[in-house]
Structure formats: C-alpha cells, structure tokens
C-alpha cells in the first residue's frame, strides 16, 4: 500500500507507453506536472522536423495532448522549462512562444542542454483546481 498523494496521468490507449520509467504527467493536488516533451510523434515515435522551429511546434502539440489527457489545456500552464541544444535558438523559440501562450505568459526557464537526437524539450506545470 502506498501513501502516494499524486496520481499518474494516462494517455489515450492508442498511444504507446513511454520508453522510460516515468509517467507522461502526474497530478498532485491542484497541479499537473508534465514530463519533458520532445519532438517525437506520440503515435510513431519518429522525430518530427529538423529545425528548432519545426521541432518546437511538435513539442507543443505533444504538450497539448498530454495536458488534455489530464483534463487541462495550454491556458492552465503556469510554468515551463525549455531545454535547448543550441542556446542561440532562444530568439526563435521565444517568437514561437507567443503563438502558443497568451498574456499573461506562464513563468519560464530556458536551459542549454545536451539532448539525445532532438533540438528542444519542454516540461510544464499546469494549475487545475480540483472541482
């Protein structure tokens, strides 16, 4: 028996399970914590795009789908962390950000990182009060 006070978020049955030992997202109280999303098609596992802009678009589609599985939307996001292989891509990603998020924007941290075969990864926290 577990004293766990959070629950995993499950994606639709037509999507494969994550390859690693993690949940796509977890709900803890009023918050949904979304694991880092990479630019892979959730159904096929293929990397989508060869530019940071194209990959960021796929990452945001994935983020939206995981949030939806948790009963949340992009408008519920209060904080994000962006991981970039090339820190010089910050400007391009920042411009794209305004096409996904509205003001007031969620808090954000951007980190240079070594990623495995992709140019960008994004994790997020959404506020979704229990009803």
Name the band, by pLDDT with cuts 50, 70 and 90, for residue 14.
Answer: confident
**Percentage of residues in the chain with pLDDT exceeding 90?**
85
Mean pLDDT of all residues in 40-53: 95
Mean pLDDT of all residues in 78-99: 96
Distance from chain centroid for Cα 7: 18
The tokens for 22 are 């993690």
User: What rounded mean pLDDT belongs to the chain?
Assistant: 94
39: which DSSP letter?
Answer: S
- Is residue 15 a contact partner of residue 42, using CB atoms and an 8 Å limit? yes
- CA gap 49, 25 in Å, rounded: 24
Mean pLDDT of all residues in 42-66: 96
Which residue reads 């070594």 in tokens?
114
Mean pLDDT of all residues in 101-125: 97
Q: What is the CATH number of domain 22-127?
A: 3.30.1330.40
pLDDT attached to residue 18: 83
Q: Is pLDDT of 105 > 80?
A: yes
- Is residue 81 a contact partner of residue 111, using CB atoms and an 8 Å limit? yes
Mean pLDDT of all residues in 37-58: 96
């Amino acid at each position: 028996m577990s004293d766990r006070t959070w629950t995993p978020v499950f994606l639709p049955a037509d999507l494969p399970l994550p390859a690693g030992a993690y949940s796509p997202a977890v709900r803890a109280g009023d918050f949904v914590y979304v694991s880092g999303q990479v630019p892979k098609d959730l159904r096929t596992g293929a990397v989508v795009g060869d530019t940071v802009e194209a990959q960021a678009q796929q990452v945001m589609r994935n983020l939206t789908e995981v949030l939806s599985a948790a009963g949340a939307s992009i408008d519920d996001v209060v904080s994000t962390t962006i991981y970039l292989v090339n820190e010089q891509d910050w400007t391009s990603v920042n411009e794209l950000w305004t096409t996904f998020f509205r003001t007031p924007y969620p808090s954000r941290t951007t980190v240079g990182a070594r990623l495995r075969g992709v140019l960008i990864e994004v994790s997020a926290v959404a506020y979704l009060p229990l009803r």
